[in-house]
Structure 1
Amino acid sequence: MSVLGLSKALRPGSGCCGTLTGHPEFPKLLCTGVLTLAAVMMESDDAENMTEGKYVYWISQDDDVPRGHLGEIVEQKTNGDRMVKFPNGTWKFAPEKLNVCDFQKGTFVHSTSDDYDFDTVGEVKDLEDGKLILEIKGEKVKEKPKHLLRCDFQPGMYVFWIKSDDDIPAGHMGEVLEDINDEGKVKVSFPNGRWRFRPSHLVCGHIQPGAVVQWTSSSDDIAAGELGQVTGSLDEEGKAVGSL
């Protein structure tokens, strides 16, 4: 086991990791592309991801399942087909005829409604009659998927605070927790504690749990060009831990 170090903090206003390539303060780890930020932000349409409870769309349409109707997988048949409950009924579909929705139970989202500013985060709690039930600012509301945007920061992702202080020094990376308060702020666990933040005060880490990475330097323990994988944990200095 080795620690894959992150040398510097990301600067305020830099945005997510894709905009920082070549920046002089960019941490000295290269993501090989096996798991990119884009992959973290999207749900896979692979059959393995179409498990019970997943929200899906049918790629076709008819009178029973109009285009845009969202359904929930309620059963997987022995032949691989999925039983999907839509607002008008439950039917059987082959996995290749389904698309997985990017909004699932537990997904952090922004609402485009005028009732909320874009710095407020809500969480998908359930699906009812083809609409997603959100908990946002302490209330539960129904929204169509087309009125939602997926938040850049999802539970388990690594982030940096755009500022620094004695509790969160520059370069410390934190992990987003499954916790949103009534003000629509997310909670992030840093090495020295846990605090709440507006999304605009955070930037995505350039590596994420599960990413295959390459250290730009080398040592007796890590040979030049050797690949490692981020294991999904952070050490006491806010650095990602990886295995070779």
Structure 2
Amino acid sequence: MHDKHPDPHPDPSGPDAYAAAKSQLLDAYRFRHAVKDFDPARQVAADDFDFILEAGRLSPSSYGFEPWKFVVVQNPELRSKIAVHAGGARRQLASASHVILVLARLPHDMTADSAYISYMLDDVQRLPQEISDMKRKTYDAFLRTGFALQDNERAMFEWSCRQTYLALGNMMTAAAMIGIDSCPMEGFVKLETERVLAEEGLLDTAHFGLACMAAFGYRAGEPTEKTRRPLGEVVEWR
């Protein structure tokens, strides 16, 4: 009697596949840490970085309005100019393979009656008119009374920034899953950094502000052990 041959086309949604996917994702989270010094001799392959960017592009956002733009800065001279006002990112700017400036939409672009929201509803989401009108009305109520954001420009901008962090997290996780390191960075003087970016033609100050930066590449040394609070302190069940 011959042994049964393994199924050449296993069910991709079977229990073994689920277990493998969960293990791979948790391994990626354990691998990822905030790299301060990258190996400048190692560069991320173009197709790998495209994969990371696509993870950002496909990320969720509130109402699906994608209030972000990703600017990839590879020019060493430009990185040096940014570093003058980014003390918390100087080491990464100098050594990372790739650096992304994560931009967030300004408040006037995110109001329910803005040209940008109309573009998203009509040209990107391509909603039927009655559905578009209903979604715009619901969104307007959310801004005015739900989260009560619209009368506070700083709160509106920070809400846009919160959306960009969903994309940022997905890009870092995607990178970790293929063995690429990353570091999210907020260590910059916002107004001065934005001034440099505007002078260099990288920031349209009529529509965007700088939310954060992210560096990608390969670690120059091994990290310290990852520390996190135990699950019992983080999660409460009722």
The interval holding the TM-score normalised by the smaller chain is under 0.3
Larger radius of gyration: 2
When the two structures are superposed, what TM-score results if normalisation uses the length of structure 1? 0.23
When the two structures are superposed, what TM-score results if normalisation uses the length of structure 2? 0.23
Larger RCO (CA within 8 A; separation ≥ 6): 2
Please state which structure has a larger fraction of its residues in strand.
Answer: 1
